[in-house]
A and B are shown apart, each in its own frame.
Chain A
């Protein structure tokens, strides 16, 4: 359904030094720099797949989504979405896709969402009766009611986002590009949007590419993730594999019958915390079985828990590292 090969985007950016001298130089002899926002990334997405698209700010996620939806032209590479070349923006392609941006809206600000929905229905050629049926169905899923008759400016952020989703999905697109659809929403509203997306995917078999800064969205919805880092694809595969890639350790938590000195555990891995009966270790993945067996035989263990470090922490450390670099 989505195929990108060597997809790149380079922006030409004017550079200006601070101060009066910089301003005059900028005026007389402007200097430009090429910024490689996306660097030759390749990936494919099968029909009906729900894929998470991760990366720190400025990594190239939104630029990629804009290329996939045909808003901007790639600088290089090959791209096919629903069998079409996106930047040609042919009507058949536009009927097949949608792009929902958490920080941008298509609804007319001073009018109720119904007015925007009517326009969309006319533009996409959806008959009146069918439009009403689809709106009822989507409104039920999104738990929207009389909000559709209130001016958009009077809706809460969560209600607005749900109305945006309704308007964007009215034409039943086969491919959904979702850029931070839960941005700024409270926990309840985030949960509703997540549930809605999962149900929509199950019911329609739509292909979904989702970016979000909330790892909860990704872990709840996507088995596969793409991780983009400084414009290049860092990971393409299951979320679990990303965890292994980002962290070559697993977290082992022990509850002991008798307290033991910290040094007793240092041979098994890195001691993260040590307090009375509780010990937390980071053990290399390839030594996990041996280490656990040794721990169980050497100490009197009341409880043992093996976990992956939280993905949020792994991502945060990766992004912080990217920021420092």
Chain B
């Protein structure tokens, strides 16, 4: 069993190395950040419809929600399956498997490093937005900000676990990333990224809340934007889904490794 100090050293080294690596791809990351403007486009669409006001949302709440959703989206992007598929198919996973560290930690660190690289680009985009429309930004209380950031990080972990589970299909299929795209549709519609959940009919809302997707956008975005939110229910949902997915990922990993052919290596 590794000591906490040794684990901390691994985390620090992995993060600093991955950050250095991501900085090499800063231009690409800036373009990725730019391509994540869907919530801002949806804001434009919803501002011109009366549906949000019918659901009891003021124009300011609507704007803050979609800007918060934009931030949540930026810092919970998970691209694991695309690199993992390449690594499994080409055998690049093999060197990681030969070391006494679960390879998924490397991918996790790479995601965190990519988020850190993204921060200045997202900040610039927000500044540009506030220059165009100062009412788009708001100042949340410290408590709300901390709770919101915790929920945002939880949303990222949940998305990472969900994609880890679908990534395990890479051990069986060479095109698992294509299967993962099937999850994009429910993610877009049930998470609150395209439309606030309050605007859905009650039955659809109930269905959405029974899935992990609202915890990935709706919950952290509401917290950050200061909208009324079920704090306990939201965190509980994050926790329960993480607890459900973790053993499934472990099971998939163990089964998948038996199938791994280390091709190309």
CB of B92 within 8 Å of the partner chain: yes
Pairwise interchain contact B100-A94, C-beta atoms closer than 8 A: yes
**A104 in complex: contacting residue of B10, B20, B94, B101, CB < 8 Å:** B94
Q: How far is the CB of A103 from chain B (nearest CB, A)?
A: 8
CB of A315 within 8 Å of the partner chain: no
CB of B185 within 8 Å of the partner chain: no
A-chain residues with CB within 8 Å of residue B261 when the two chains form the complex: 11, 72
Q: How far is the CA of A146 from the CA of B38 in the complex (A)?
A: 46
A-chain residues with CB within 8 Å of residue B97 when the two chains form the complex: 70-71, 89
User: When A101-B265, A104-B91, A105-B95 are in contact, do A123 and B20 touch as well, CB less than 8 Å?
Assistant: no
Pairwise interchain contact B100-A119, C-beta atoms closer than 8 A: no
Pairwise interchain contact A73-B258, C-beta atoms closer than 8 A: yes
User: When A104-B92, A123-B100 are in contact, do A71 and B13 touch as well, CB less than 8 Å?
Assistant: no
Q: Which residue of A lies closest to B101 (CB)?
A: A123
Q: How far is the CA of A55 from the CA of B6 in the complex (A)?
A: 42
Residue interface bits A36-71, CB-to-B below 8 A is 1, else 0: 000000000000000000000000001000100111
Q: Which residue of A lies closest to B262 (CB)?
A: A71
CB of B139 within 8 Å of the partner chain: no
B-chain residues with CB within 8 Å of residue A286 when the two chains form the complex: none
Pairwise interchain contact A122-B10, C-beta atoms closer than 8 A: yes
Pairwise interchain contact B21-A108, C-beta atoms closer than 8 A: yes
Q: How far is the CA of A277 from the CA of B260 in the complex (A)?
A: 61
User: When A122-B10, A124-B100 are in contact, do A72 and B262 touch as well, CB less than 8 Å?
Assistant: yes
User: When A66-B265, A104-B265, A122-B10 are in contact, do A71 and B100 touch as well, CB less than 8 Å?
Assistant: no
B-chain residues with CB within 8 Å of residue A71 when the two chains form the complex: 94, 97-98, 260, 262, 265
Q: How far is the CB of B43 from chain A (nearest CB, A)?
A: 37
CB of B201 within 8 Å of the partner chain: no
A-chain residues with CB within 8 Å of residue B6 when the two chains form the complex: 122, 125
Q: Which residue of B lies closest to A67 (CB)?
A: B262
**B20 in complex: contacting residue of A91, A111, A125, CB < 8 Å:** A111
Q: Which residue of A lies closest to B261 (CB)?
A: A72
Pairwise interchain contact B10-A123, C-beta atoms closer than 8 A: yes
Q: How far is the CB of A149 from chain B (nearest CB, A)?
A: 13
Pairwise interchain contact B98-A108, C-beta atoms closer than 8 A: no
A-chain residues with CB within 8 Å of residue B91 when the two chains form the complex: 104
B-chain residues with CB within 8 Å of residue A69 when the two chains form the complex: 98
A-chain residues with CB within 8 Å of residue B13 when the two chains form the complex: 118-119, 121-122
CB of A242 within 8 Å of the partner chain: no
In the complex, which residues 243-300 of chain A have their Cβ closer than 8 Å to any Cβ of chain B? none
A-chain residues with CB within 8 Å of residue B258 when the two chains form the complex: 73
CB of A190 within 8 Å of the partner chain: no
CB of B129 within 8 Å of the partner chain: no
CB of A99 within 8 Å of the partner chain: yes
Q: Which residue of B lies closest to A66 (CB)?
A: B262
B-chain residues with CB within 8 Å of residue A103 when the two chains form the complex: 264-265
Residue interface bits B1-38, CB-to-A below 8 A is 1, else 0: 01000100110111001001100110000000000000
CB of B99 within 8 Å of the partner chain: yes
**Max count, chain A CB within 10 A of own CB: residue among B9, B99, B257:** B99
Q: Which residue of B lies closest to A73 (CB)?
A: B258
Q: Which residue of B lies closest to A122 (CB)?
A: B13
Q: How far is the CB of B35 from chain A (nearest CB, A)?
A: 22
- Which residues of B are interface residues toward A (Cβ below 8 A)? 2, 6, 9-10, 12-14, 17, 20-21, 24-25, 91-92, 94-101, 257-258, 260-262, 264-265
Q: Beyond A72-B262, A124-B99, list 15 extra A-B contacts (CB 8 Å).
A: A66-B94, A71-B94, A71-B97, A71-B265, A73-B258, A95-B100, A99-B98, A104-B94, A104-B95, A104-B264, A105-B95, A110-B21, A115-B20, A118-B13, A122-B9
Pairs of residues from A and B, 8 with the lowest C-beta to C-beta distance, nearest first? A106-B95, A122-B13, A91-B100, A94-B100, A110-B24, A71-B262, A122-B10, A123-B101
23 contacts between A and B (CB under 8 A): A62-B265, A70-B97, A71-B98, A73-B257, A97-B98, A99-B94, A104-B91, A104-B265, A105-B95, A108-B17, A110-B21, A110-B25, A115-B17, A118-B13, A119-B13, A120-B99, A122-B9, A122-B12, A122-B13, A123-B99, A123-B100, A123-B101, A124-B99
